[in-house]
Amino acid sequence: MLCEAQVVEVLPNTKFKVLLKDFDTVIDATPSGKIRLNHIRILKGDFVTVELSTYDLTKGRIVFRHKTNKPSNFNNEQK
């Protein structure tokens, strides 16, 4: 099952604590193989898509990191 989540804490050994948007619970998550293969960095505060384990609902796998918007005053600084 896929859920939207936000990274709350970065733990050692490529583990993360993420807050699920739908359930308001914090679970442990690890990045998927494609995330590791492409060296995608996941930081605290990032919005991600998590695939929950069917056997243990307190664990999951991060399958996608959503892009964040740049600040709106970015264009004003170039003028």
Q: Give me the CATH number covering residue 60.
A: 2.40.50.140
Residue 73 is assigned to a structural domain of this protein: no
Total domains in the chain come to 1
pLDDT for 68 equals 77
Mean pLDDT computed over 57-73: 80
Residue 61 is assigned to a structural domain of this protein: yes
Residue 78 is assigned to a structural domain of this protein: no
Over pLDDT 70: what percentage of the chain?
86
The answer to whether 61 and 20 are in contact (CB under 8 A) is no
Longest CA pairwise span in the chain (Å): 55
pTM value > 0.85: no
The DSSP 8-state label assigned to residue 22 in this structure reads T
Residue 77 is assigned to a structural domain of this protein: no
pLDDT for 70 equals 46
Residue 79 is assigned to a structural domain of this protein: no
pLDDT digit string (tens) for 28-55? Answer: 999 999 999 999 999 999 999 999 999 9
What DSSP line would sit under 28-55, residue for residue? EEEE-HHHHHTT----TT-EEEEEEPSS
